[in-house]
Amino acid sequence: MSSLLKTIQVDYTTGEVLKTIDLLHKGKDKRKYTQLMLLNYKLTSSMPPAQAKMLNVLAYKVEYDTNRIDLSPTAKKEIAADMGIKIKAFYNTYNSLKKAKLILTYLDYDIVNPLYMWKNTRKSQLELIDKLTDLKILITKD
């Protein structure tokens, strides 16, 4: 998805438009996908920096509508490179997120806990939370 942005240079003394520049912005705005995670500031500010950094990287890498994490060897190396760490440190941090229940195992794959981060509508997020709660994978406080 692309969008066209315009930059306008104006002479502030006369109000005359001096120059208009069209800028093509490629790709989706990734910031909207991290909105739910940023709302839970108390959680992310109290966790170790490596865990918070991994959650930030995963916010861009998880699949849309499922929160599924791609754990292919290439993806692991890419995530580790984005974080600036070695693969062994990647596994340690990833396992600590699993112990903290921020990464859950659902069916045959791992997902980021939808209570903290979600890529899609609120309705589909709540549907997955209900499904995980019914399967006793996720415990919610009511």
Residue 50 forms part of a structural domain: yes
pTM across the whole model: 0.66
In a domain, 20, yes or no: no
Please tell me the total count of domains within the chain.
1
Which range, of 46-50, 103-107, 136-140, averages the lowest pLDDT? 136-140
The CATH number linked to 104 is 1.10.10.10
User: How many CB atoms are closer than 10 A to CB 104?
Assistant: 19
> Quick check: is 70 in a domain?
yes
Q: For the chain, give the mean pLDDT.
A: 77
What digits encode the pLDDT tens for the residues 54-96? 888 888 788 887 889 988 899 999 889 888 899 999 999 999 9
Domain with 69 in it: 30-134
Calculate the CA 138 to chain-centre distance.
Answer: 19
pLDDT digits (tens, 9 = 90+) for 4-19: 555 667 777 787 777 7
118 CB contacts (<8 Å, ≥6 apart)? 36, 67, 124, 125
Q: Is residue 102 in some structural domain?
A: yes
Domain annotation covers residue 25: no
